Amino acid sequence: MEKFTTLSSRAIPLAIENVDTDQIIPARFLKSINKNGFGKNVFRDWRYNKDHTKNSTFILNNPTYSGDILVAGNNFGCGSSREHAAWALTDYGFKVIVSSFFADIFKENALNNGLLPIQVTPEFLKALLSRIEENPETQLGVNLLEQTITVEGTSFKEDFNINSYKKRCLINGYDDIGFLLSKKNKIMAFERQKAY
Amino acid sequence: MKKTLFDKVWDSHIVDTIKDGPQIVYIDRHLIHEVTSPQAFNELESRNIPVFRPDQVTATADHNTPTQNQHLPIKDERSKKQLEQLAINCKKNNITLYELGHKYNGIVHVIAPELGITQPGMTIVCGDSHTSTHGAFGAIAFGIGTSQVAQVFASQCLLLTKPKSLRVTVNGNLKKGVLPKDVILYIISKLGTNSGTGYFCEYAGDVFENMSMEGRMTICNMSIEMGARGGMIAPDETTFEYIKNREFAPKGSNLDQKIAYWKTLPTDNGAQFDKEYFFDANDIEPMITYGTNPGMGIKITETIPQVNTPSFEKSLAYMNFEKGESLINKPINYVFIGSCTNSRIEDFRIAANFIKGKSKAPNVTAWLVPGSKQVETQIIKEGLEDIFTKAGFELRQPGCSACLAMNDDKIPEGEYCISTSNRNFEGRQGQGARTLLASPLLAAATAIEGKIIDLTEYLTHSLVQEIQ
Ligand code: SF4
């Protein structure tokens, strides 16, 4: 997993609520047996028209906006457990997703792939979305060490929470498997003693 | 300290607690399928790690399988490859696989309970969000991502932070024609799709106590649709009766011991929940969804609410519905009875009971997709197939089918489908398809009438006729 500490980037505003994993990556693209290449189908049915031409009204196709940060409406990533959603977003190039609420499994999947989900207050989200919409060149600064998100060059800033274990993993690029394997003895002792 | 059902099961599975971090939770049962497991096997292989406890893993092929001519080679190359890969991975790692055509094959959340693999007090995970289904037995069961599938393969454990607790209590008697599906659609319509996020939910009250195991599974299945990681119902005599004599259930004195333990699991009187909701069974009526998330549901007699947010309007535009509109009399061309929410034998009995002696409307294509090979066999054994075929319904072979439309079972663009599945997201049943979630009874009635009917009125009417 790639390490994450700080990021400075422009952002793409996706002011839609309840973006579910079926929108992020539709089921018909889940037939792969490896993790690569999902980015080309991220938000497939919003990005493309039925005749496979680009839907110019969708924000990802608007050249005015760019960046490694996606700022999305409330309850992002609800629905299925498919980690393909996180793979599609990272493969497309996103490193941070900002929303006022994330679905549990999506959040976990994102963190396990070095994609940082930042949960902000609804007020901050609303203001952030309008700032980006008004000025697409708005530059955001994310600092994982200090747990802050800032509109650079302004005092518009918010702190965010992250589980300290997950924070350590992201900063160091560690994943959970190595950690669990180091606990094998404890796990086997548990198996011998379990009371149920 | 007074404990909840969830606390009791959770606490008994803690291997270790990391300072300032998550807990290591032991997983008893790991269920896998072809779509979310291959990358996890790759991960293990690339690091040269074996599957730690293959005996605790059960595999099935369900998401991406055809529901017709299962004995023939699969036409879609990529689907075929995925199934082949599952077989290779299971063989290599000594994992039991119920592949296509096997007498135990079927949707992962249908087969595990049916085989007695699912038991009270267990921790159960699967790379599928509707793993919450197994909570109906008083197990902690939840969906995980593929990285976590790899973690469980490697260590039979997960690193987790204990979720908060939520209890939904429904007391009273359900009205005629109100099914478990209506109860859960009602709850989600009241609470919304993210009220449960960060929580594990327990369902309590007479409505659930009086419910069959099939019904309880329908309820717990949709816990994820209100954002909860999982749902649970306390195990009781109904649970024990269901488990007895199933293939992998404990037997003899072993079973007696287990039952004695399972009886200690229900929530202690006076245990505290972080959040509680109470509903009255009498307020629940046959439900239907009109939008693109499962929280957008109404009683069949109600009209689409007036909500003025861009997301709500976007959703109605996709569905081609208007605010304030009633859904009664809307013509419907597709009906799907299936998915891990409603594809158990009870669901098909309910449908058959309504359909018997009637014929589907000519405009309707009606697919019945059993949740498992065992359900399919039972349908035939009970003579239900005959009723369905005579009525013009198409009984297909088991699998996830039009629930996620990964195989060929897709609803055409722009068409409405009354579906007994659990998600009505945009494009869930095929690009541009419009899904209305409902119970198997309302689905069956719609297929007969070719349009949505006021089931409440219909039932009262037929009841009056019966009495006369
Ligand atoms: S039937 Fe639908 S919800 Fe259930 S496991 Fe299959 S795809 Fe998932």
Which chain B residue lies closest to A181 (C-alpha atoms)?
A: B155
Contact between B135 and B223 under an 8 Å Cβ cutoff? The reply is yes
- Neighbouring CB atoms inside 10 A of A5's CB total 11
Which of B65, B110, B400, B409 is the pocket-test mutation for ligand 1 (most atoms within 8 Å of CB)?
Answer: B400
**Nearest CA residue ID for atom 2, ligand 1:** B403
The two three-digit tokens of residue B18, written as one number:
């990391």
What helix, strand, coil percent values describe chain B, rounded to 5? 40, 20, 45
Predicted structure pTM score: 0.95
Mean per-residue pLDDT over chain A, rounded? 95
Residue B371 CB partners (closer than 8 Å, separation 6+): B106, B107, B109, B110, B111, B338, B339, B340, B343, B344, B398
Going by C-alpha positions, the residue among A16, A84, A46 that lies closest to residue B314 is A16
Q: In B322-335, which positions are buried (b, 16+ CB within 10 angstroms) versus exposed (e)?
A: eeeeebbebebbbb
Helices (H), B118-226: 146-155, 180-191, 206-209, 213-221
The rounded distance, in Å, linking the Cα atoms of A40 and B408 is: 22
User: In the structure, what pLDDT confidence band is assigned to residue A194 with cuts at 50, 70 and 90?
Assistant: confident
Specify the ligand 1 atom closest to the Cα of B371.
Answer: 1
The rounded distance, in Å, linking the Cα atoms of A65 and A59 is: 7
Q: What is the arithmetic mean of pLDDT over B456-467?
A: 74
What integer pLDDT is reported at residue A151 of this predicted model?
Answer: 97
Chain B touched by A163 (CB under 8 Å):
yes
Going by C-alpha positions, the residue among B148, B129, B149, B114 that lies closest to residue B230 is B129
Nearest chain B Cα distance for residue A52, angstroms: 12
User: In the structure, what pLDDT confidence band is assigned to residue B144 with cuts at 50, 70 and 90?
Assistant: very high
Query: Residue B145: which of A28, A108, A180 has the nearest Cβ?
Result: A108
User: In the structure, what pLDDT confidence band is assigned to residue B356 with cuts at 50, 70 and 90?
Assistant: very high
Put simply, the answer to whether B26 touches A191 (Cβ < 8 Å) is: yes
Name the residue type at position B260.
Answer: A
The rounded distance, in Å, linking the Cα atoms of A17 and B468 is: 52
- pLDDT over 70 percentage in chain B: 99
Strands (E), chain A: 6-14, 69-72, 96-99, 116-119, 139-143, 148-151, 157-159
Give the pairing of strands B29-32 and B123-126. Answer: parallel
Chain B touched by A24 (CB under 8 Å):
no
What integer pLDDT is reported at residue B19 of this predicted model?
Answer: 84
Count CA atoms closer than 13 A to B459's CA, side-chain side: 14
Radius of gyration for chain A, computed over Cα atoms and rounded to the nearest angstrom: 18
Q: What is the arithmetic mean of pLDDT over A31-43?
A: 94
Query: Residue B16: which of A104, A175, A183 has the nearest Cβ?
Result: A183
Chain B touched by A130 (CB under 8 Å):
no
Q: What is the arithmetic mean of pLDDT over B88-92?
A: 98
Residue B129 CB partners (closer than 8 Å, separation 6+): A79, A80, A81, A105, B143, B224
Specify the ligand 1 atom closest to the Cα of B62.
Answer: 6
Q: How far apart are the first and last CA of chain B?
A: 57
The rounded distance, in Å, linking the Cα atoms of B120 and B141 is: 10
Chain B touched by A50 (CB under 8 Å):
yes
Nearest chain B Cα distance for residue A29, angstroms: 8
Q: Is the pLDDT of residue B466 over 80?
A: no
Q: What is the arithmetic mean of pLDDT over B148-171?
A: 97
Count CA atoms closer than 13 A to A29's CA, side-chain side: 25
Q: Is the pLDDT of residue B464 over 70?
A: no
The rounded distance, in Å, linking the Cα atoms of B303 and A80 is: 29
Which chain A residue lies closest to B223 (C-alpha atoms)?
A: A79
Residue A151 CB partners (closer than 8 Å, separation 6+): A128, A131, A138, A139, A140, A141, A157
Nearest chain B Cα distance for residue A59, angstroms: 15
What integer pLDDT is reported at residue A49 of this predicted model?
Answer: 93
The two three-digit tokens of residue A1, written as one number:
């997993």
Going by C-alpha positions, the residue among A49, A38, A33 that lies closest to residue A89 is A38
Q: Is the pLDDT of residue B468 over 60?
A: no
DSSP one-letter code for B376: H
What integer pLDDT is reported at residue B355 of this predicted model?
Answer: 95
Query: Which neighbouring-strand residues pair with A78?
Result: A20
Mean per-residue pLDDT over chain B, rounded? 96
What integer pLDDT is reported at residue B465 of this predicted model?
Answer: 66
Chain B touched by A148 (CB under 8 Å):
no
The rounded distance, in Å, linking the Cα atoms of B356 and B370 is: 18
- Neighbouring CB atoms inside 10 A of A166's CB total 21
Q: What is the arithmetic mean of pLDDT over B106-116?
A: 98
Query: Residue B406: which of A27, A102, A176 has the nearest Cβ?
Result: A27
Radius of gyration for chain B, computed over Cα atoms and rounded to the nearest angstrom: 22
- Neighbouring CB atoms inside 10 A of B49's CB total 16
Q: Distance of alpha carbon B375 from its chain centroid, rounded? A: 15
Q: Is the pLDDT of residue A195 over 80?
A: no
Residue-by-residue DSSP string for A110-133? HHTTT-EEEE--HHHHHHHHHHHH
Q: How far apart are the first and last CA of chain A?
A: 36
Q: Ligand 1: does its nearest atom lie under 6 Å from the Cβ of B340?
A: yes
The two three-digit tokens of residue B96, written as one number:
């039991």
CB pairs under 8 A between A and B: 182
Return phi, psi of residue B49, to 5°: -110, 130
Contact between B376 and B349 under an 8 Å Cβ cutoff? The reply is no
Q: Is the pLDDT of residue A3 over 60?
A: yes
What integer pLDDT is reported at residue B463 of this predicted model?
Answer: 62
Chain B touched by A18 (CB under 8 Å):
yes
DSSP one-letter code for B344: S
Q: Is the pLDDT of residue B462 over 80?
A: no
Q: What is the arithmetic mean of pLDDT over B99-106?
A: 97
Q: What is the arithmetic mean of pLDDT over A11-28?
A: 95
Q: What is the pLDDT of residues B255-306, one digit of tens each?
A: 999 999 999 999 999 999 999 999 999 999 999 999 999 999 999 999 999 9
What integer pLDDT is reported at residue A50 of this predicted model?
Answer: 87
Q: What is the pLDDT of residues B46-79, one digit of tens each?
A: 999 999 999 999 999 999 999 999 999 999 999 9
The rounded distance, in Å, linking the Cα atoms of B422 and B294 is: 7
Q: Is the pLDDT of residue B168 over 90?
A: yes
- Cα-based distances in Å from B107 to B64, B178, B182, B342: 11, 25, 22, 11
Put simply, the answer to whether B36 touches A83 (Cβ < 8 Å) is: yes
What helix, strand, coil percent values describe chain A, rounded to 5? 35, 20, 45
Q: How far is the CA of B124 from the centre of ligand 1 (A)?
A: 16
